[in-house]
Chain A
Amino acid sequence: MAADEQVTLLDTWASSIGMRVRIALAEKGVKYEFIEQDLWNKSGLLLQMNPVHKKIPVLVHNGKPVCESLVIVQYIDEVWKDKAPLLPSDPYQRAQSRFWADFVDKKIYEHGRKIMTTKVEDQEAAGKKDFIDTLKLMEGELGDKPYFGGETLGYVDVALLPYCCWFYTYENILNFSLEADCPKLNAYCKRCLQKESVSKSLEDPKKIYDFALKLRKKLGVE
């Protein structure tokens, strides 16, 4: 790919789904410009690049926008295909990878939003146990592999890893310990954070927690 490619990411620093795109770009060694968005006062650029959903992340590649985090990750994998493939080549294995990334979206991402908009005292009723069971299911799928992608980071890892910096927040709000309840997932996060593409793409868990508390106060649940 030519050195004069223009790659811009419209994102917000704390977004777990924005971090997916950052990890994917880092894995592929793609240089890009990060433009922090204000979601309370959406910019003309964001509205122009994602008129349908008006959300981040949006990848702008040579002026053309791609929206929805997993759609963006697949796009990155297909464009910068000569390095660090994220999806396997076998169609059945690809379907399994897509299934588990979709599972992360349906169960972890969606519940994460619920956790953020629910008072501490209502978290049990809002499905705290289901959330932890979901994490245990992910542990089962990981098995003995170092990554969901096998020996290297793959599509499912990219979908899931941003939560490594959000687990501290969820532990505090839900009052549980990832290390105690999901030791394998905890070890997986630590292992992945040793990779530069991951550690450089994720944010400090304590900063995320401060951000989460401020947002929860603003939403009236804290």
Chain B
Amino acid sequence: MASDQVTLLDLWASPFGMRVRLALAEKGVKYEYSEQDLVNKGALLLQMNPVHKKIPVLVHNGKPVCESLIIVQYIDEVWKDKAPFLPSDPYQRAQSRFWADFVDKKIYDFGRKIWTEKGEDQEAAKKGFIDSLKLLEGELGDKPYFGGETIGYVDIALVPFYTWFYAYETIGNFSIEAECPKLIGYCMRCLKKETVSKSLEDPKKVYDFVVMLRKKFGIE
């Protein structure tokens, strides 16, 4: 597919955007990265995602695909001859989809509340977040990756959130490593892979970004 035109509309700190960057890296797909301003949304973004007006958006030969996990599945199906993300067995595929959906429902929502809430609401979010990570640790078991011997769909869904852990820990005043050492070990293992380290952002930069957002939203 040497003449493919692939563009990613994204925001550097977005864990959802990082999922797509990681998926493209795993498949060895060259693409143009286009940083978006979400305060003053560009015409291209509004044209490519008129329904939600959000990033990430993958534009493949002029046609947009929206929603990070849908984009990741699309990438897996189009560039199917390399590094498959989903298993071939329908039951195993269903399990992968279930856990990626779990990451969406639990990790993102609780994580967000850790940096936007205070007091009891923040404490409840921290507890929910840690409980969710522990469930993921159980699901990982002794495997190197959720995908088994290689990175798979659930790994792609989850590992970008590692870049936000430092922000959650600092703002929430707790240690994720103390509670979930296995998960942190897993993240470290993933970061040794070039596709992962090149697709994920520096946690300290993400923290500065979150501090800026909190000031902007008047959180403190």
Contacts and interface: CB of A to CB of B under 8 A. Distances in A.
Interface in A67-109: 67-68, 71-72, 74-75, 78-79, 91-92, 94-95, 98-99, 102-103
Interface string B115-139: 0000000000000000000010000
B198 interface: no
Given A71-B101, A74-B97, A92-B63, A98 B90 contact: no
B164 to A, nearest CB: 22
Interface in B65-92: 65-67, 70-71, 73-74, 77-78, 90-91
B98 interface: yes
B94 interface: yes
A180 interface: no
A75 B91 contact: yes
Interface string A112-130: 0000000000000000000
B126 to A, nearest CB: 19
Contact of A67 (B70, B98, B135): B98
Contact of B67 (A72, A91, A92, A102): A102
Contact of A52 (B74, B91, B102): B102
A61 to B, nearest CB: 8
Given A52-B135, A103-B51, A71 B94 contact: yes
A49 to B, nearest CB: 12
Nearest to B105: A53
Nearest to B71: A95
Contacts of A103: 51
| Chief secondary structure at chain B's binding surface | helix
Given A52-B135, A78-B93, A91 B70 contact: no
Contact of A66 (B60, B70, B98): B98
A137 B51 contact: yes
Contacts of B70: 95, 98-99, 102
Tell me if A's interface is mostly helix, strand, loop or mixed.
helix
Contacts of B51: 103, 137
Contacts of B66: 99
A64 interface: yes
A29 B91 CA distance: 19
Contacts of A68: 97-98, 101
Contacts of B135: 52
Contact of A74 (B60, B67, B74, B94): B94
Contact of B94 (A52, A66, A98): A66
Given A79-B90, A94-B74, 11 more contacts: A52-B102, A52-B135, A61-B91, A66-B91, A68-B98, A74-B94, A75-B93, A92-B74, A99-B66, A103-B51, A137-B51
Interface of B: 51, 60, 63, 65-67, 70-71, 73-74, 77-78, 90-91, 93-94, 97-98, 101-102, 135
Interface of A: 52, 61, 64, 66-68, 71-72, 74-75, 78-79, 91-92, 94-95, 98-99, 102-103, 137
7 contacts: A66-B91, A68-B98, A68-B101, A78-B90, A92-B60, A94-B74, A99-B66
